[in-house]
Amino acid sequence: MPATTSVHGQWTTRLAFILAATGSAVGLGNIWRFPYIAGDNGGGAFVLVYLGCILLIGLPVMMAEILLGRRGRQSPINTMVTLAREEGLSRGWGMVGWIGVLAGFLILSFYSVVAGWSLSYVFKSGSGGFMGLDADGSEAMFDGLLSNPEALLAWHTIFMVMTAMVVARGVQSGLEKAVTILMPLLFVMLVVMVGYAMVEGRFIAGLEFLLYPDFSALTANAVLLAMGQAFFTLSLGMGAIMIYGSYLQSEASIARTSAAVVGADTLVAIMAGLAIFPIVLGAGLSPEQGPGLIFVTLPLSFAEMPGGLYFGTMFFVLLVFAAWTSSISIIEPAVAYLVENVGMTRVAASASIAIAAWLLGIGALLSLNVWSDYTLFNMGILDLLDYVTANILLPLGGFLIAVFVGWRMTERSVQSELRMKLGGLYQIWYFLVRFVAPIAILFVFLRAVELI
């Protein structure tokens, strides 16, 4: 019989889990990554494919991942080994956990660098740096940051320390409370930003850009990016949601909980797009700004907005908090593994993983300036880490999770953990996990490989 609680602890309520999982899901992926990738890939058609991936692959895989985590109640590596043994399968399934740990380490390294940009913008805004800014000035300000390795390193270091500090203390103490306050605040700020874009930007043009599908702009690579973004934004395929699921009470409904998290995450991404594109188009900027998109456009809103000094500062503070509640979930699987199998304390485990990711992050931040000539497939280290994790490792992890739950576990085990009425909704979910998710992921992979 699998354990009923994890040695690492448990959320106090189902709501706490929803907030923590939403905290993990809502992050730089929604506010930084989604708008710029949608912008680079023509908008509407990309967004449509992304929403399709969220609903048909993301939601069912999230349920599968929580199910596995709650049944295994350990780090993803040990959970997969335990559950495979329970079903009489190979220990090799532990690989799913290992892929996740690798992906988490690679993601954190660049995530912390970008969170560092956000930290730096808190102070730029707070010191009045956005006042009187025009489009050129805003671009120059962002370029100035990227070309300054010392500044990037300082912010990256601070963010990594913040992450390790929370994880070292354990997931519940402080964190639960933090997400309860911060997530609603972030939401309110986004509403304000969308309201501003509505009044001051070219809102209809922004809406059209985001929602009007021009399928001629949709390449096979854009479909891969949309799928990768769906995994990234929902924190799927690398064990973060699995380990959060391992701290979830046995009675909580996995289906309803997942739907809440996916709904909140999607809403935040769309709102971020609606806050940004009207401003981009209104200022005559191109949506194809790449990773700098929000850092170049949002300061323009704040420059003009009454109270922009305060709103701007608060917005970037909240962006940092959103990134923070995600980064802790990125290293939690690896930390839990070190505690379980190597006998490290949480403090030592958190510090070790954070230091390793910090070192790789230095490579990522140097790729923005002194190492900018070194590229592979036309990408610097930061872009490469981002591309490989989101578009290859996470979908691969998701594929294996779907195959494990859909084909290798007995349906009885699946049903006993899911505890859902065995009606139509259950049937749809099971069909999506067994057929739609794995086949779609394979298909998108094959199409994208053909391109190379």
- For position 391 contacting ligand PHE by CB under 6 A, the verdict is no
Tokens of 173: 């103490």
- For position 97 contacting ligand PHE by CB under 6 A, the verdict is no
Task: Tell me 33's DSSP state.
Answer: I
How many CA atoms does the CB half-sphere of 156 hold within 13 Å?
A: 29
Q: Smallest distance, Å, CB 122 to ligand PHE? A: 18
Backbone φ and ψ for 376, nearest 5 degrees, come out as: -135, 135
CA separation for the pair 410, 363 (Å, rounded) = 44
Part of the chain binding ligand PHE (CB under 6 A), chosen from 146-154, 295-303, 323-331, 374-382: 323-331
Q: Smallest distance, Å, CB 261 to ligand PHE? A: 10
CA separation for the pair 48, 211 (Å, rounded) = 8
Part of the chain binding ligand PHE (CB under 6 A), chosen from 70-78, 121-129, 195-203, 322-330: 322-330
Part of the chain binding ligand PHE (CB under 6 A), chosen from 235-243, 285-293, 361-369, 439-447: 235-243
Asked if residues 331 and 354 have their Cβ atoms less than 8 Å apart, the reply is yes
* Residue 392 burial (C-beta neighbours within 10 Å; 0-12, 13-18, 19+): middle
Asked if residues 359 and 352 have their Cβ atoms less than 8 Å apart, the reply is no
Asked if residues 77 and 94 have their Cβ atoms less than 8 Å apart, the reply is yes
- For position 163 contacting ligand PHE by CB under 6 A, the verdict is no
What share of residues in the chain are helix, strand, coil (percent, to 5)?
80, 0, 20
Q: CB neighbours (10 Å) of residue 257?
A: 20
CB of 18 or CB of 420, closer to ligand PHE: 18
- Return the residue of 107, 145, 272, 275 that touches ligand PHE, per CB under 6 A: 107
Tokens of 125: 């805004």
- For position 232 contacting ligand PHE by CB under 6 A, the verdict is yes
Residues 240-299 binding ligand PHE (CB under 6 A) are 240
Q: Smallest distance, Å, CB 326 to ligand PHE? A: 4
CA separation for the pair 273, 194 (Å, rounded) = 9
CA distances (Å), origin 370, targets 149, 150, 373: 8, 11, 8
Draw the binding track, 37-66, toward ligand PHE (x: CB under 6 A; -: no contact).
------------------------------
Draw the binding track, 17-36, toward ligand PHE (x: CB under 6 A; -: no contact).
-------xx-xxxx------
Size of the site for ligand PHE (CB under 6 A): 15
- The length of the chain, given as a count of residues: 452
Q: Smallest distance, Å, CB 81 to ligand PHE? A: 21
- For position 401 contacting ligand PHE by CB under 6 A, the verdict is no
Part of the chain binding ligand PHE (CB under 6 A), chosen from 186-194, 227-235, 308-316, 350-358: 227-235
Q: Which residues bind ligand PHE (CB under 6 A)?
A: 24-25, 27-30, 107, 232-233, 235, 238, 240, 326, 329-330
